Amino acid sequence: MIEIDADRDACVGAGQCAVTAPELFDQNEDDGLVVLLRQPAQGEEEAARKAVSLCPARALLER
């Protein structure tokens, strides 16, 4: 099982993560910055890694 860190200081609110894996990521209503909803469950690793790789700000890290 993988764990994801979301760095709100690095996030630029591009929203790729929320589009790619909406079950794991959302965007704050006010500032648009990433909200990590929960850690990936079994079977969600691929979507989580895809979101990490697509983040233009490198704000998502796999621990």
Pair 48, 40: CB distance under 8 Å? yes
Closer CB to ligand SF4, residue 16 or residue 62?
16
Binding site for ligand SF4 (CB under 6 A): 6, 11-17, 25, 27, 34, 55-57, 59-60
**How many CB atoms within 10 Å of residue 6?**
20
Closer CB to ligand SF4, residue 27 or residue 45?
27
Closest separation in Å from C-beta 21 to ligand SF4: 10
Give me the helices (H) in the chain, please.
Answer: 16-20, 45-54
Alpha carbon 47 to chain centroid, angstroms: 10
Closest separation in Å from C-beta 2 to ligand SF4: 16
